[in-house]
Chains A and B, each alone.
Chain A
Amino acid sequence: MAAHRCGFLPPLFILCALSVLTVTWTQETIPLGSHRAAAADSKPTDTKSVAQTTEQLAVEQRQWEATEVEEATSAAAAVSKQDNSSPEDVVQTSTPKPKDEFQEELVVRPLHSGDIYASFQFRTLWQTDFTRERKVSHYGLFPKSLGQVISKFSVRELHISFTQGYWRTMQWGQPFLSSPPGAELWVWFQDTVTDVDGTWKELANVLSGIFCASLNFIDSTNTVQPTASFKPLGIGNVTDHRFLRYATLPREIVCTENLTPWKKLLPCGTKAGLAVLLKSEKLFHSSFYSQAVHIRPVCQDWQCKTASWELRQTLNVVFDLHNSGQGKREWSLFKMFSRTLTEACPLASTSKIYIDVTDNPEGEQFELSPATALLSQAVVLGDRRTFSVYDLTQQITFGTVRSLNVLMRWKSSEGDMLRPLLHAERYVAGYGLQTGEIHTLMYNNHPYRSFPVLLLDSVPWYLRMYIHTLTVTSKGKDNKPSYIHYQPSKDRVRPHLLEMLVQLPPNSVTEVTVEFERALLKWTEYTPDPNHGFYVGSSVISSLVPSLVALDTNSTWQRPLFSTFFPCKEESSYFVRVYTEPLLVNLPTPDFSMPYNVICLTCTVVAVGYGSLYNLLTRTFQIEEPSPGLAKRP
């Protein structure tokens, strides 16, 4: 409207100005708002707003107070300091609020080699039913992207992990949750799914978009259907292995682009709570980095009559002492993450830091500051460990400086590390580019107990395994597995799947050997960098390891998160999963510059040879009289 008024506006203004002049002679105020109103008549005049400001402010204040009072009652009920398992119906609004709960914790464990292991766990519990026909539409703390994935693909359990580096069991002990290098995805589908393979492929594609990873390379050539490993970790009665799929991509890189969407799934994001420590420049400058997402249905309370969905996001990282560039052994939150903590996530019901001080009962090994009176004991990985606890929901934890930087200074470094009871290695033996041997070594370091171990091997089709050469030996003698399942590979369709249940004798090394032959791929099947080699995924070793202390088989409530991941059914042993290294094998690789050279050479030879032959056969020589010159002889 202002556009076509512009032409005759200046004279109009002059008239206005004259009127203004007359007004100013009578009053003192200069109404600047007059010409503004002519130009843009959508804005209300300032004078009116100024007059009403004080009134409005009072009204607004009153409104703000009213909402505060409402919020206070709901907040007091929801965020209580006791360990309530299910939050109550808190807000009397007209829409039903989803009942969800968020907990976060960080466990810091100093390792014997001087490195330090930090494990973050973020858990969102939500009592809802994704399998109902009417779609869930109100999301609270549970991320919507994952909720839609669960309901659309009828997922019962989903476990996905991205790892960079290899976990050194002999130097670092056992991790809380192990994961193989690269990407690993395993899913249990609901029994209502009719086409499991098609759903699996679509699910891998969707997850590749969510996590910015190339999971779309998961297809039938690297997917297996284990028959005994990977039992569901959540509740439920269905264990038909037709609904289970497992795939691993050992070549997958993990970098900030995978961490970014992972952080966005957290309720508080990276703004508050423990997630402010997750800075990629520090996390990827480490010896081991692993991030994972685990979704499964769990018991809502100790009675276990209703199920609620649990989303666990875990992040494990091991920082190297020498990489950080300091001589003396000293670790702090600031040194590890280049950040300190200032507040807990307001949406979290519990937010704690656990520092493992089992090797430091009197403070003789290292000194922990700021001092904390809270101590907690938990049985994790079959051992009773003592932890110093910092509760971030208490304001007193942050002290007068309003920030928490946990500092550990070492005085002496004595003591031996407890040897891990189960440990595995894997390597390729042989020479040349035609045949080879895969050796898998499993160590049982328990002095007198033997325990069963389930080995899962998934080998790509281009390594043709000869199962008749499979040998399992312990202490030099043959050790016959009590269960073997082998599914042969099909070229370009299916990989090999080998599952064996082996009893490991005490204090021994069990060696599994199998020979293979390398296949020649079609020239289009090579990657752009074929001389790097081809990866074979890690073996998975699932086992029930004897525990040093009795485990609690009752409800998992009121226990720290890191000790409640694997459900425990018996007191004397705990379940553990160990991954071996991935293998890198060279396949016979053609020289890709050769086709051009061959074409040139062949064409030259053909041209020269055929041309000469043709000339020889068809060219005739004729003697010609030299023609007399134009000048005639007289």
Chain B
Amino acid sequence: MTLFTLLFLLSSCLLVYCINIEDNVGQFFSSGHTNNWAVLVCTSRFWFNYRHVANTLSVYRSVKRLGIPDSHIVLMLADDMACNHRNPKPATVFSHKNMELNVYGDDVEVDYRGYEVTVENFLRVLTGRLPPSTPRSKRLLSDDRSNILIYLTGHGGNGFLKFQDSEEISNVELADAFEQMWQKRRYNELLFIIDTCQGASMYERFYSPNLMALASSQVGEDSLSHQPDVGIGVHLMDRYTFYLLEFLEDIHPASKTCMNDLFKVCPKSQCVSTPGHRTDLFLRDPGSVLVTDFFGSVRKVEITMDSINLTSVVSHRKEEPAANGELQKEVYSYSDQLPVSEIIHQ
């Protein structure tokens, strides 16, 4: 009899397993992306805007932790807070008071820093119109199967975002840049998150398909900062990104949390401002979109049983004997570092 119960249990397990397989397969083919990119921008300069750099670095940290490699992240920081001479703990940027979490870390690669973070460079990165000698780490090399996460933070207003206290980008420009990206097939799906005052105004003008947008505050509202640290002397994080970071810390690369949970991050009781989102341009249902579709970089692996013969492609090059023949010809020597007589008679 015990055997029968055991078999009954096994059959029920198998049924559940079957259903799971169907579900997994369904999700396997639902999101059409093959790679993930992230463009994280902090647009504020000066020491009292420490929190904007901490915002961007905490999103960078989450995105790296969930799998997107540095080569697929374009990180733009308008000012250097970690090695700023006002920083009492150099090479660190903290997000929690009492210095609990150093979001700067030991393995950070900033692609655009200081004066390079301008509206022009940002739009060039998005649209891909960069000078030919730009290195790969500064380019957004996305294709039509890329899911891109764009995160902006700084000071903003109704319809604009301020870059480095000297110029602005308007919501119309941003919408046009995304349309250019769509026409050139530079993204499959795009998630746009903005943490500034009146952030919802920045996504009002979007008109390209497959865009999902989140903002930390509605038009007419200010996004507030979270907490100051007495040791460092400035506010460390903004509220929206602080609760976003808390939410993302619970996500791991295999988690099944969907976007609807992300929309609930930071309600009015915690954020004081009302976060908003926009999904009307997005083709899929947000309830079926995983957070890791944008924040993580989950590799989809296909197992095959066919064997492939690798022929040796590299032809073996022997060392040229002619090189030995040149040995006897000339003797090299070091140059004189300060040939005084030569210089005088130059």
Contact = CB atoms under 8 A, between A and B. Distances in A.
Nearest to A261: B109
Given A205-B135, A214-B113, A214-B114, 20 more contacts: A10-B14, A17-B7, A35-B14, A137-B314, A208-B138, A212-B111, A212-B137, A214-B115, A216-B134, A235-B334, A255-B91, A260-B108, A260-B109, A280-B91, A281-B90, A304-B332, A304-B333, A305-B328, A482-B340, A528-B164
Nearest to B114: A214
A231 B80 contact: no
Contact of B90 (A233, A285, A483): A285
Interface string A123-151: 00000010000100100000000000000
Interface stretch (A1-9, A61-69, A614-622, A624-632): A1-9
Nearest to A252: B114
A24 interface: yes
A14 interface: yes
Interface string B108-126: 1111111110000000000
A83 interface: no
Interface string A175-209: 00000000000000000000000000110011011
B250 to A, nearest CB: 27
Chain A to chain B: the 6 pairs with minimum beta-carbon distance, closest first: A209-B135, A567-B334, A255-B83, A235-B332, A284-B91, A6-B18
A427 to B, nearest CB: 20
Contacts of A77: none
Contacts of A260: 106-109
Given A253-B80, A454-B338, A566-B337, A281 B92 contact: yes
Contacts of B247: none
A206 B133 contact: yes
30 contacts: A6-B18, A6-B22, A10-B18, A13-B14, A17-B7, A17-B11, A137-B314, A205-B134, A209-B134, A209-B135, A212-B110, A212-B111, A214-B112, A217-B115, A228-B343, A234-B334, A237-B333, A253-B113, A253-B114, A254-B83, A255-B82, A261-B109, A285-B91, A297-B332, A305-B331, A307-B332, A454-B343, A528-B45, A528-B166, A544-B338
Given A208-B135, A209-B136, A257-B113, A236 B332 contact: yes
B234 interface: no
Contacts, number: 192
A39 B336 CA distance: 77
A247 to B, nearest CB: 16
A542 B106 CA distance: 36
A299 B114 contact: no
A21 B3 contact: yes
A332 interface: no
B7 A20 contact: yes
A281 B82 CA distance: 10
Nearest to B105: A256
A225 to B, nearest CB: 14
Contacts of A227: 346
A452 B344 CA distance: 11
Main secondary structure on chain B at its contact with chain A? loop
B327 interface: yes
B335 interface: yes
Contacts of B19: 6
A527 B303 CA distance: 54
Given A95-B314, A96-B317, A201-B133, A236 B335 contact: yes
Nearest to B26: A3
Contact of A206 (B46, B112, B135, B317): B135
Contacts of A137: 314
Interface residues of A, number: 81
Given A134-B317, A575-B338, A205 B115 contact: no
A416 interface: no
Contact of B83 (A9, A237, A284): A284
B21 interface: yes
Nearest to A255: B83
Q: Which of B18, B314, B319 has the most CB of A within 10 A?
A: B18
A322 to B, nearest CB: 15
B17 interface: yes
Given A3-B25, A42-B303, A285-B89, A231 B335 contact: yes
Contacts of A35: 10, 14
A10 B15 contact: yes
Contacts of B300: none
Contacts of B82: 255-256, 284
A239 interface: yes
Contacts of A285: 89-91
B134 to A, nearest CB: 6
Contact of A483 (B109, B113, B336, B343): B343
A210 interface: yes
B337 A95 contact: no
Contacts of A24: 3
Interface in B161-208: 164-166
Interface in B291-346: 303, 305, 314, 316-319, 323, 327-328, 330-340, 343-344, 346
B29 to A, nearest CB: 10
Given A202-B133, A206-B133, A257-B110, A529 B46 contact: yes
Given A3-B25, A216-B116, A235 B343 contact: no
Contacts of B109: 212, 257, 260-261
B334 A569 contact: yes
